[in-house]
Structure 1
């Protein structure tokens, strides 16, 4: 066989299990075919452009010797490659893997601040313990050194740190930088070493205003000047989250239909959410539309949204540092539960809560928009009883 002249597609035997495989004129490679434990296998040795006939014969001889000893040459080669990958991984630190993980996933996160939160928590808690170490060296003992000291008094933070370490280590394993079980895994592993979260975490609710005082509060709020008071009132009237409100843009608003559609990428549950707008909400929007900014609630600089701290600062100026913006969602929920007959699923949908029961979620395909409009109009009427809008 004249190797360099072989162009016709097919398999050409050289002997001893060595074949030249020709797919087409420019795709020619060496393969080694063998039987081991009653199983026929084929192993690629390399391209004809890379290996000469003599070199291919030497490789085939090495493979036959392995077979003679009952060793699968394909598996033997994979073990060598895995060892080489682990050797290379010794230079790949946990910190480097964490940064690579963040860069790989940041486009899928709802906002850039999520990436900053990942960096900050890992830099604060994980990096001082094993950040500079090879990612392969991270074991249960090291993970426990990070998590155990904060599990009792910073349980929420500890839970997030543990989950982020687990994700980074899973990523490193998939990329071939480490092998073995994930030492940050909770189920069946760390759960055996740490008390249940429910046993140590003190539940802290967002400070909420009693619903009987909401009218008085909103009347006072309407005496304030600026964008922040309007944003806070709009937040109260829609029972929305802070991020949903300050990130709202005019293309999400349909004043004719009195509806606000928050896209999935800006929702906590990653699902589009339609919000019915009461008359006062529409009035606020019509007042702000004259500003001509992209954002409904613009910040100090043109083209920038209102700061996520703006409404909290407003509450402090009003002498109510005891309240949180998120707490008004609890005020709304308490009002709906204690003073109205609206079904709980309507209230939960108004709050854009995810339906945990999968069967119930499958049957409830609509968004109960009209019923939610009635609910939010009733809420607006209750909120406005203590005084008219200026």
Structure 2
């Protein structure tokens, strides 16, 4: 029998207990006269109880409608409690779960910068693809979409991203927000989709130095007194392409304004409107330029061994490989810079992308960056200079000494 209770009765119940309205709907009076609605049902051989809300916030008619919905679900073979949990999971996005994970873990992290590094990595590499996805719907295909663009360029960064996604998805499962295997797990899963890092290092084109090793490398580089050493240091500090640096001429430089204007034909990338690329120069870059020797009749900034010519396109590469090992590239320092910007700074992704002269496909973002973000880029390159100038010792858990064995 349905609808046994009346509104008057609900107000009169004072003894602890449950009062049936019929059809599985119960009015429950608990300690301290707290009152609530319960829907009781049997499914799979066991009795379950689903809370429908407190009284009087949920009145008699509303409770009956909720109970009716539960009965309809049961008629369709749906468990009301399981369905509620499933709907809640669908409402929780990956970004929300990641934020909750960081909040839960941050108090136990010894390094205060660790939280910022987590947030920056997720914001730069992960959220654009899966941040707004329901965390329960993140599958292997979506994880691969995040990882593949990064893995071939900087496997160390990709592995860090993968590990963080895996931890967030594990956290989601432990909190009932998703079920099944973790699509970001390595062993028996993604290990079949990517070459191991040691094997990848032998085949990738622009092997990058971990950004944590760059300060140590720069310390050793500054000890070397050669044009190629200064050219390499300048290249790293500006995050420029090799071709732009070896072809640089003095008329492109404005030392007073601390600017370098690179012609579009030497930028190494298609530039909107075929305009020159303006590069902000940090103080150390200016110091390098002012100390360089000049050759009469030679317009090149970095003078080569042949009169009237600049350094060769192999000069910096041979220096890098002589200092570290074969396989390391000059171009890879651009990836080191990008990883540092993502991990250790709060600059928007578009600022570091502009500093690297990368094309931006999105029309809104492209419009936003038409001014080249010059002042933000100037501050970013200043911070990069300061980071590179740190002594090669562990500082805040970020900088590590450069050892050939670490990179072999």
What's the TM-score once normalised by structure 2's chain length? 0.44
Q: Relative contact order (alpha carbons < 8 A, sep ≥ 6): 1 or 2 greater?
A: 2
What's the TM-score once normalised by structure 1's chain length? 0.46
